[in-house]
A and B are shown apart, each in its own frame.
Chain A
Amino acid sequence: EAGVAQSPRYKIIEKRQSVAFWCNPISGHATLYWYQQILGQGPKLLIQFQNNGVVDDSQLPKDRFSAERLKGVDSTLKIQPAKLEDSAVYLCASTRGLQRGSSYEQYFGPGTRLTVT
């Protein structure tokens, strides 16, 4: 079974530029998550999709961040315009689905390391 794929692995941009990240979850996984991990901190959930619908985007800075999962499979996360504080690793994760009482084991991709200068 192929894992969660992310691209690019690394990205360096200047502040005020735009950037997009791509994630392809494990085949058949209905739930997809985007996390932001700042150096020295744990991952923080940005947005959660169930198929192509948004379940939770309460911590997504919507003035500059956007995400979509149009066909319920792969997803893109965009930052426009980027700020210095957006420098972080952006992690994508997926699970089979949302079933209360079952395991929420999430499978993570390798992440995209973003540096904003």
Chain B
Amino acid sequence: SQELEQSPQSLIVQEGKNLTINCTSSKTLYGLYWYKQKYGEGLIFLMMLQKGGEEKSHEKITAKLDEKKQQSSLHITASQPSHAGIYLCGAVPLIQGAQKLVFGQGTRLTINP
């Protein structure tokens, strides 16, 4: 079965610093999704990557998918308190007919002022 491993599990950074969160799959990914979750709330969609080598950016967040489509990274530049939360990667298994998301365990990001 598809498994996603996120690292680190938690991260504390000083406001203004850059940071990277990684997501590694045990199998080739059909699509990779990044979501953000604030405590007590649902998931907010950030970005979706589908092609090997693809890179997308939104404001200060950049996500990349490697050529083999088994690893993705989420990079935040000049972090702000609003970036704090839990970041989750989700993937569509490369199984015919599969139409669901499998999630990693999440990375808890804390931004210190």
Contacts and interface: CB of A to CB of B under 8 A. Distances in A.
Partners in one complex: yes
A110 B45 contact: no
Contacts of A67: none
A31 B104 CA distance: 22
A24 interface: no
Interface residues of B, number: 22
A106 interface: yes
Contacts of A104: 31, 33, 48, 92, 99, 101
Contact of B42 (A44, A45, A91): A91
Contacts of B101: 43, 45, 104, 106
A55 B99 contact: yes
B42 A4 contact: yes
Contacts of B44: 108
Given A4-B42, A105-B33, A109-B42, A44 B48 contact: no
A43 B88 contact: yes
B43 A91 contact: yes
Contacts of B31: 103-104
B105 A108 contact: no
